[in-house]
Amino acid sequence: MTTKAVPTPQPIFEKSRPGRIGCNMPKCDTPEVDLTFLGPLRETVEWPEIAELDLLRHFTNLSHLNYGIETGFYPLGSCTMKYNPKVNERAAIFPGFANIHPMQPERSVPGAIETIAQVQDILSELTGFPSLSMQPVAGAHGEMTCLMMIKAYNSARGEAARTVVLVPDSAHGTNPASAARCGYTVRTVPTDSQGNTDLAALRDAMGDDVAALMLTNPSTLGLFEPNIEEVCRLAHDAGAQVFCDGANMNAMVGMTRPADHGFDCMHLNLHKTFSTPHGGGGPGCGAIGVKPHLAPFLPSPVLMRKEGKAIVDHDRPLSIGRVSGYFGQFLMAVRALTYLLAYGRDGLPQISRHAVLNANYVQARLAGVLPAAYDRPCMHECVLTAAEYKKAGVRALDLSKRLIDHGFHPPTNYFPLIVPEAIMIEPTETEAKETLDAFCDALIAVCEEAVQDPGALTAAPTTQVVGRLDEAAAVKVLDIAWKSNRTAASV
């Protein structure tokens, strides 16, 4: 292992030299207009003055510091950082898709409408929900849209007094946030000793004030909820709706359908399960699917089939209204359709089979150094605990930081919150056994080092352009702008 740190890149502003230029601008051949009546916008403009080649090298070298799925293994639990095949991008830049305008009359874009309808058809078949909307542009947006629909549904049937949403203690933080954003009070449901929803506690928490239960299945512990039908029945008996957080759909594609488990509605992350771009804040797609009783409340307009033909239905008197412009991120639908058709109906279950196999392989290989939080087979991700290294003064975070020195992106740490020193690994289906082995070997070596030389871990990473960052200071003193008067010592 190399221990040499990468030198800190010089900011482009410090490469600036007065008068140096990247290109010669032609002489102005239009009349000059005096804009001084606007007043000075700013005293000076400190743009770097730099030659084209130096500029090119600067940004190319910075790009080499990136770590992504195309440079290495990315086992970030709960994020499904799978490989997005390039053919998806090829389809998305077809001029017929890329060059249409969202304001074009619907009759001029039947291909785009049919494309969205085909994605909806397949997602409907995979989830069991007959009605869908592609409008939500993120997973949390999809969650919130489903809760808004549940609220509208309850109001329409005279059950507006249902003001509580139940959320398990293992849930993604977006669940209680979405519920609070919709004006609901959140009531927490504990997890039992096996990692499942505590049925007795759920029974106690249910009542005629409960609007909905939000449940992630498989749970954020990477475990399939074996009592899922009983959980849904308890909710329905109390008059509550059950929302499925589809963040973990990658474990179930073509294998089992949330609508069949008893859920009333769900969201899907196309940018996770269905292989559309993911990082950098999007654009995402948090498509939602609902059962018939919720369909009247779908965001308007609704793209649906009528006698087999894809149509856009604007006549939705009970709709909660639009939740985004047009049909959300259209090119996400193009990419997802490409991905789905490339696998084909018979190939799709392979996604989940391999995702689950890979996660169990990693869980089994690491069992000697990092035991699973719950000793049972996992689904598409495994949640391990590093609690035993605490006596050596080593935390899960230190193990993860040391993994960076071995060339791997760290797994998720400290989530779910109910697992002490959690390390959450989601390998996804697109990794070969050799890659999984190299990762496991590295993590085993790091765990051995934690016992023999804990200081090496708490000092890690030492091979990167920056060392251990002060996360608390980064939150409190946000300082990301270059300032010309800053001295080298204060940088």
Residue with smaller CB distance to another protein, 417 or 465: 417
> Tokens 């190939």 sit at which residue?
347
What DSSP string runs through 341-395?
HHHHHHHTHHHHHHHHHHHHHHHHHHTTTS-BSSSS--SSSEEEE-GGGGGGT--
CA 406 to chain CA centroid, nearest Å:
25
Q: Which of 476, 479, 480, 487 binds another protein (CB under 8 A)?
A: 476
Nearest Cα residue to 215 out of 374, 204, 207, 227: 227
Q: Which of 56, 156, 417, 491 binds another protein (CB under 8 A)?
A: 417
CA distance linking residue 275 with residue 82, whole number of Å: 7
Contact status: 472 vs another protein (CB under 8 A): yes
- Least separation, in Å, of the C-beta of 76 and another protein? 16
Query: Binding segment for another protein among 101-109, 215-223, 458-466, 472-480 (CB under 8 A)?
Result: 472-480
Q: Which residues of 468-488 are buried (b: 16+ CB within 10 A; e: fewer)?
A: eeeeeeeeeeeeeeeeeeeee
Task: Give the HSE-up count for residue 271: Cα atoms under 13 Å, Cβ half-sphere.
Answer: 23
- Least separation, in Å, of the C-beta of 469 and another protein? 10
- Least separation, in Å, of the C-beta of 481 and another protein? 20
Q: Are strands 288-290 and 265-268 parallel, antiparallel or unpaired?
A: antiparallel
Residues 6+ apart with CB under 8 A from 276: 84, 88, 270, 284, 285, 332, 335, 336, 339
Residue with smaller CB distance to another protein, 200 or 477: 477
Residue with smaller CB distance to another protein, 27 or 476: 476
128, 258 Cβ separation under 8 angstroms: yes
- Least separation, in Å, of the C-beta of 468 and another protein? 12
- Binding track over 420-459 against another protein, x by CB under 8 A: ----------------------------------------
- Least separation, in Å, of the C-beta of 163 and another protein? 18
Nearest Cα residue to 262 out of 302, 296, 221, 217: 217
Q: In the range 165-184, which residues lie near another protein by CB under 8 A?
A: 173
Give the count of beta carbons closer than 10 Å to the beta carbon of residue 306. Answer: 8
Rg of the chain in Å (alpha carbons) = 26
What DSSP string runs through 59-84?
HHHHHTT---TTTS---BTTS-----
Query: Binding segment for another protein among 88-96, 248-256, 412-420, 453-461 (CB under 8 A)?
Result: 412-420
Query: Binding segment for another protein among 44-52, 124-132, 246-254, 413-421 (CB under 8 A)?
Result: 413-421
Contact status: 471 vs another protein (CB under 8 A): yes
Q: How many residues does the chain have?
A: 491
CA distance linking residue 269 with residue 284, whole number of Å: 8
Residue with smaller CB distance to another protein, 4 or 476: 476
Q: In the range 218-277, which residues lie near another protein by CB under 8 A?
A: none
Give the count of beta carbons closer than 10 Å to the beta carbon of residue 56. Answer: 12
Residue with smaller CB distance to another protein, 55 or 418: 418
Query: Binding segment for another protein among 134-142, 225-233, 404-412, 470-478 (CB under 8 A)?
Result: 470-478
Q: Are strands 185-189 and 210-216 parallel, antiparallel or unpaired?
A: unpaired
- Least separation, in Å, of the C-beta of 471 and another protein? 4
- Least separation, in Å, of the C-beta of 414 and another protein? 5
Per the omega criterion (within 30 degrees of 0), is the bond before 218 cis?
yes
Q: In the range 382-401, which residues lie near another protein by CB under 8 A?
A: 397
Q: By rule CB under 8 A, what count of residues binds another protein?
A: 9
Query: Binding segment for another protein among 37-45, 47-55, 468-476, 481-489 (CB under 8 A)?
Result: 468-476
Q: Which of 13, 67, 361, 414 binds another protein (CB under 8 A)?
A: 414
Contact status: 156 vs another protein (CB under 8 A): no
- Least separation, in Å, of the C-beta of 472 and another protein? 4
Contact status: 307 vs another protein (CB under 8 A): no
Query: Binding segment for another protein among 113-121, 297-305, 341-349, 467-475 (CB under 8 A)?
Result: 467-475
Binding interface with another protein (CB under 8 A): 173, 397, 413-414, 417, 471-472, 475-476
